[in-house]
Amino acid sequence: MVKLDLEKINLPGLELERPWMIAGPCSAETEEQVFETAQQVKEAGFKIFRAGIWKPRTRPGAFEGVGTIGLPWLKRVKEELGLFVGTEVANAHHVFEAIKHGIDILWVGARTTANPFAVQEIADALKGTEIPVLVKNPVNPDLELWIGALERINQAGIKKLAAIHRGFSTYDKTKYRNHPQWQIPIELRRRIPDLPIICDPSHISGKRELIYEISQEAMDLNFDGLLVEAHRCPEKAWSDASQQVTPEELKAISEKIVLRAPKI
């Protein structure tokens, strides 16, 4: 068992009920795309909006995120639509900028979790704040590295913590973009029973057709919530186009999900 000093994640005025839903585009592209997608996310009934501002791309030359100029767009979503907003941070500068712009939730991406130097830098930058932090699994199937990142951030005083399962890289091509290896988040739950675990079916699947079945499996395994990429026009997205759905499609998927007695 791993001992973390955890506190329930609560956002002002929002009681998180299972399954918590976090929805929004892979990347913030333009102010208009962010705002229109956020309006649709709100209309679909979701309360927490995600958008990547700094994008960790595997190869150079792809769209690497709009950077700090996108943070006021998220602030506008928060102020004008009343949604909670979250984004990915990968270094201390990102943490300071995100907090300065009133971002409600931060997450650490899979490539960053794999790097203890980066995680420690983020943890140090978080000291003195109480912002909820979600930690994605590292790209490689290394549970200790995932737990280590959670411990570093917890030791910096962040008690509102959750894990995000987004699958693991494999060299062999499978039906998944990132293999779910469900036994790893299941073992994380056994080691840290009080830690909420969210599933990211978008990055596991790599294709929108699989989002429903992966989400249902996550619920059957007693996950606490879902983080799903949703875009006003998925096929035109500047990153991860094939795995995004519209907010309306996500609403239909979420209505299809059955919450039944967990398998474990």
Kindly state the DSSP code that residue 215 receives in the 8-state scheme: H
Show the binding pattern over residues 222-261: x = contacts Mn ion (CB under 5 A), - = does not.
Answer: ------------------x---------------------
Q: Verify binding: residue 214, Mn ion, rule CB under 5 A.
A: no
Which residues form the interface with ligand PEP (CB under 6 A)? 26, 52, 56, 88, 109-110, 136, 166, 203
Query: Which residue, chain included where needed, has tokens 């474990």?
Result: 264
**Closest CB to Mn ion among 26 and 150?**
26
* Partner interacting with residue 230 (select from Mn ion, ligand PEP, none; CB below 5-8 Å by kind): none
**Closest CB to Mn ion among 121 and 240?**
240
Beta-carbon neighbour count of residue 46 at 10 Å?
A: 25
Query: Which residue, chain included where needed, has tokens 């699989």?
Result: 210
Report yes or no: 186 and 221 within 8 Å, Cβ to Cβ. yes
Tokens read off for 105? 């939730």
Minimum CB–partner distance for residue 31 and Mn ion (Å)? 19
Tokens read off for 41? 């996310």
**Closest CB to ligand PEP among 109 and 196?**
109
**Closest CB to ligand PEP among 56 and 67?**
56
* Partner interacting with residue 102 (select from ligand PEP, Mn ion, none; CB below 5-8 Å by kind): none
DSSP 95-143: HHHHHHTT-SEEEE-HHHHT-HHHHHHHHHHHTT----EEEEPPSSS-H
Binding site for Mn ion (CB under 5 A): 26, 240
